[in-house]
Chain A
Amino acid sequence: MAKRKFNLYFRPELVNEPITYVLVKDYDLRFNILRAEVVEQGGQLLIEVDGKPAQITKGVAYLQSMGVTVKELNEFVTKDESRCTNCGMCVSICPADAIEMDRKDWTVKFHLEKCIACGLCVSSCPPMAMKLQA
């Protein structure tokens, strides 16, 4: 079993397609919706997919065949260690508990695997150490 995160971008006409249902039913994938929004340009869905590696690949191919743009989320938010002052402003802002204050040495630890790429830490970081990659 593997866990991967994907950002899915839909055109407006795809918003009504039950694609997540197909992912579960036909590809046996479990997924967790981390973020969802619909705007004029279409929809965006951030999902974490849990399943057999081969099935994930097939599921992604299915999504692409439906016209969904799929981008895997590897490093969406990055922490520039040379700018971080370890103040901890971002810690209480992060809705995913991906940022933590290490109380042994008082440094800020960023757990990328928990990050949902919401970007809230980016605008709240005083020394601008947290950056959003396009």
Chain B
Amino acid sequence: MKRTYEEINAKIEKGDAVVMTAEEAIQLVESQGVEKATKEVDVVTTGTFGAMCSSGAFINFGHSEPPIKMQKVWLNNVPAYTGLAAVDAYIGATELRDGDGMEYGGAHVIESLVRGEAVHLRASAYGTDCYPRRDIDTYISLKSVNQAYMFNPRNAYQNYGVATNSSEKAMFTYMGKLLPHYGNATYCSAGQLSPLLKDPKLRTIGIGTRIFLGGGIGYVAWEGTQFKTSVPERNGVPSSAGRNLAVIGDLRGMSDEFLRALNFHGYGPSLGVGIGVPIPILDEDLMRSASVRDDQIYAPVLDYAIQSRNRKPMMEVNYAQLRSGTVELFGKKVKTSSLSSYFKARMIAERLKSMIMKNEFQLTEAVVPLPTSREQRPLDVCSKEEVL
């Protein structure tokens, strides 16, 4: 049984495509088997909503009178990077507001823009013959700027580690608050709904793939940073953080329902991003991977008290165990918390399904596949000679 993108899109156009969420596909495969399910289903939709620190947005503010070549830019007092042309800037999600703690940052600015609110813009410059102006203080909104598009270098991790803490004091991490003496364990994947776990070798996800991004439409732009393929597998899916995506999409059309400023106490701001990827069921292999269940997907448990990039996993647990509310570590029942909202992941998979069924979303074949072999390199302190 083979199916092509053209066939699927023709069915979508006619309103005949059979689209299921990954949860529905799991049930179908359980009752009918892979072969029958493959014949029946054209597309399986996925979803994830979690903290994705490597996120941000490019904005072009438009030219002032007289013009300015912005050298420093602040949006609601959060510095944005403007080492680009005159009025281009990049606001990063984790950038902190100047001078007042760690609660507010770039993520909040992005959420504000998406909510349609006015954002305070301040810029300074050294002044040139072509750009004489030296400062500006004004307001912008998604209505006023030329372009505002999200470009996130690392989103939608294929899988991720589970965090716990063996030490005697609470730790405040990007994996949330970790209570002492293995007081809790936190995880951050939508598991059986998570996009890249449903097509683990990324056969159908590559550069140019159209996706659901933050409530709007986006595209896969590149391999995500720290993309790696050299990860252990169980049941055909990576059992630790592996591949991920760099994504791009217009902020206009996105919504704060799927783009939410987050704050991790003691760590700082991050952006909650909702992503959904449609998996075209081209053959049985894809149906098999799209129907992998939580109890078949494993993640390593890491002790964050060991503050080293080389910490070894203590053990592996699966997502059915994590989602049950407790896991057993060294004979002790430890409560679990998710940082990724399964509720929203489900909503995204449903939303994407309905967009496809209404012909508001057509599938795209990747222009270029993402790397099939990639290692992740460390950063070492070395000499000029050693680095070459």
Q: CB distance B176 to A124 under 8 Å?
A: yes
Complex Cα distance, B270 from A87, in Å, reads 14
B340 in the interface (beta carbon within 8 A) = yes
Bound complex: CA of A127 vs CA of B259, how far in Å? 11
**Min CB–CB distance A61 → chain B (angstroms):** 40
Q: Is A128 among interface residues, defined by CB-CB distance under 8 A?
A: yes
| A85 contacts B49, C-beta separation under 8 Å | yes
Q: Which of B177, B272, B346 contacts A85 (CB 8 A)?
A: B272
Q: Which of B304-337 contact A (CB under 8 A)?
A: 323, 325, 335-337
Question: Is A126 an interface residue when CB atoms closer than 8 A count as contact?
Answer: yes
Q: Complex Cα distance A87/B272, Å?
A: 10
**Interface: B344 (CB within 8 A):** yes
Is the Cβ of B337 less than 8 Å from the Cβ of A126?
Answer: no
Do A89 and B186 form a contact, CB below 8 Å, given A106-B342, A106-B346, A126-B339?
yes
Q: Are B262 and A93 in contact, with the CB atoms below 8 A?
A: no
Q: Which residue of B lies closest to A126 (CB)?
A: B262
Q: Which A110-134 residues sit within 8 Å CB-CB of chain B?
A: 120, 123-124, 126-128
B230 in the interface (beta carbon within 8 A): no
Per the 8 Å Cβ criterion, residues 82-108 of A in contact with B are: 83, 85-93, 101, 103, 105-107
Q: Are A89 and B339 in contact (CB under 8 A)?
A: yes
Q: Which residues of B contact A126 (CB under 8 A)?
A: 51, 176, 262-264, 270, 272, 339
B366 within 8 A of A: no
B338 at the binding interface (Cβ < 8 Å): yes
- SS of A interface (majority): loop
Question: Is B59 interfacial (CB-CB < 8 Å)?
Answer: no
Closest CB-CB distance, B120 to chain A, in whole Å?
21
A105-B343 in contact (CB<8A): yes
Question: Does the CB pair A127–B176 fall under 8 Å?
Answer: no
Interface residues of A in 3-25 (CB under 8 A from B): none
CB-CB nearest in chain A for B179: A93
Q: For the complex, would chain B's binding face be called helix, strand, loop or mixed by DSSP majority?
A: strand
Complex contact B343–A90 (CB within 8 A): no
In the assembled complex, how far is the CB of residue A105 from the closest CB belonging to chain B, in whole angstroms?
Answer: 7
Total residues of chain B contacting the partner, CB 8 A: 32
Interfacial chain A residues near B179, Cβ < 8 Å: 92-93
Q: List B contacts of A93 (CB < 8 A).
A: 176-177, 179, 184, 337
Question: Hey, which chain A residues are within 8 Å of B346, CB to CB?
Answer: 106
Q: Mark A22-65, 1 if CB is under 8 A from B, else 0.
A: 00000000000000000000000000000000000000000000
Determine whether the beta carbon of A92 is less than 8 Å from that of B339.
no
Instruction: Give Cα A98 to B265, complex, Å.
Output: 21
CB distance from A115 to the nearest CB of B (A): 17
Residue B185 lies at the interface, judged by CB distance under 8 Å to chain A: yes
Measured between beta carbons, the chain B residues less than 8 angstroms from A101 are 325
Known contacts A106-B342, A126-B176, A126-B263, A89 near B49 by CB under 8 Å: no
- Scoring B51, B264, B337 by chain A CB atoms within 10 A of each residue's CB, the highest score goes to B337
Evaluate contact between B177 and A87: CB separation under 8 angstroms.
Answer: no
**Which residues from chain B contact A124 at a C-beta distance below 8 Å?**
176-177, 265
B114 to chain A, nearest CB (A): 14
Residues of A within 8 A of B184 (CB): 92-93
With an 8 A cutoff between CB atoms, is B260 at the interface?
Answer: yes
CB distance from A60 to the nearest CB of B (A): 34
Q: Is the CB–CB distance between B263 and A89 below 8 Å?
A: no
Distance between Cα atoms of A91 and B265 in the complex (Å): 16
A86 CA to B337 CA, complexed, in Å: 11
| Apart from A85-B49, A87-B49: 9 A-B pairs, beta carbons within 8 A | A85-B260, A85-B341, A85-B344, A87-B50, A87-B337, A93-B176, A103-B325, A124-B265, A127-B272
Chain B residues with a Cβ under 8 A of chain A: 49-51, 103, 176-177, 179, 183-186, 260-265, 270, 272, 323, 325, 335-344, 346
10 closest Cβ pairs, A-B complex: A92-B184, A92-B335, A86-B343, A126-B262, A92-B337, A106-B343, A124-B177, A87-B341, A123-B265, A106-B342
